[in-house]
């Protein structure tokens, strides 16, 4: 609460992220409601792999949803993430008319960094009525040291981040559909 004057000056706020904040739906909802009462802008960063009722209960009080969309193709999603994306896509479609959403797409070579994936993702967003921003998050290896510390294999060893030219090309896949795109820099 001591940061409220800063939030008001900077137009900042509080983002719940994780892990997955909606896994603690009651706490998530309660803290978002309390922050709303105090006039603090709130956001929830989510993968949205939850049943609709607890998911929406958790995010409903938030001002903004930062919605991870890792891939449209169900088999690619299952291979890369370990779960299919049916529930995620359903939640996206249900949430679009209800909340302000920014779609966050990690761009990972060898997984979802393909022209076809981004064209399909743009078409999905357009057909859903999505009006938010698309954030392209280029792959980086900053977390690889954590795997070493935990004595786990880092499956993306040797993976190079996408080039600026590739990112611009993929951003264009969204822009030609009338979507606003931001490419995050590291």
Q: Map out the domains of the chain as residue ranges.
A: 13-183
Average pLDDT over residues 39-59: 96
Q: Is the pLDDT of residue 186 over 80?
A: no
The 3-state secondary structure of 108-145 reads CCCCCCCHHHHHHHHHHHHHHCCCCEEEEEECCCCCHH
Q: Is the pLDDT of residue 178 over 80?
A: yes
For 13-183, which CATH superfamily applies?
Aldolase class I (3.20.20.70)
Tell me how far apart the alpha carbons of residues 70 and 61 are, in angstroms, rounded to a whole number: 24
Residue 143 pLDDT level (bands cut at 50, 70, 90):
confident
SS3 173: helix
For residue 152 the two structure tokens come to 């786990």
Q: Convert the pLDDT of each residue in 152-168 to its tens digit.
A: 988 888 888 899 999 99
Query: pLDDT value at position 110?
Result: 87
Residues 6+ apart with CB under 8 A from 47: 20, 68, 70, 88
Q: Convert the pLDDT of each residue in 4-19 to its tens digit.
A: 888 788 888 999 998 8
Q: Convert the pLDDT of each residue in 79-110 to its tens digit.
A: 888 899 999 999 999 999 999 999 999 999 98
Q: Is the pLDDT of residue 76 over 90?
A: no
Average pLDDT, the chain: 93
Instruction: Please provide residue 175's backbone torsions phi and psi, each rounded to the nearest 5 degrees.
Output: -65, -40
Average pLDDT over residues 23-39: 95
Residue 22 pLDDT level (bands cut at 50, 70, 90):
very high
């Amino acid at each position: 609460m001591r940061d409220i004057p800063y939030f008001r000056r900077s137009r900042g706020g509080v983002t719940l992220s994780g892990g997955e904040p909606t896994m603690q739906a009651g706490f998530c909802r309660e803290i978002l409601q309390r922050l709303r009462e105090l006039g603090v802008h709130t956001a929830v960063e989510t993968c949205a792999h939850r049943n609709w009722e607890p998911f929406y209960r958790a995010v409903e009080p938030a001002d903004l949803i930062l919605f991870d969309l890792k891939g449209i193709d169900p088999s690619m999603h299952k291979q890369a993430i370990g779960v299919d994306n049916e529930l995620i896509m359903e939640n996206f479609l249900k949430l679009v008319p209800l909340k302000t959403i920014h779609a966050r797409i990690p761009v990972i070579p060898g997984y979802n960094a393909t022209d076809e994936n981004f064209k399909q993702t743009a078409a999905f967003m357009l057909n859903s009525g999505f009006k938010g921003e698309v954030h392209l998050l280029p792959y980086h290896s900053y977390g690889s040291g954590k795997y070493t510390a935990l004595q786990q294999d880092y499956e993306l060893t040797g993976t190079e981040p996408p080039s600026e030219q590739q990112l611009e090309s993929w951003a264009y896949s969204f822009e030609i559909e009338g979507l606003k795109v931001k490419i995050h820099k590291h």
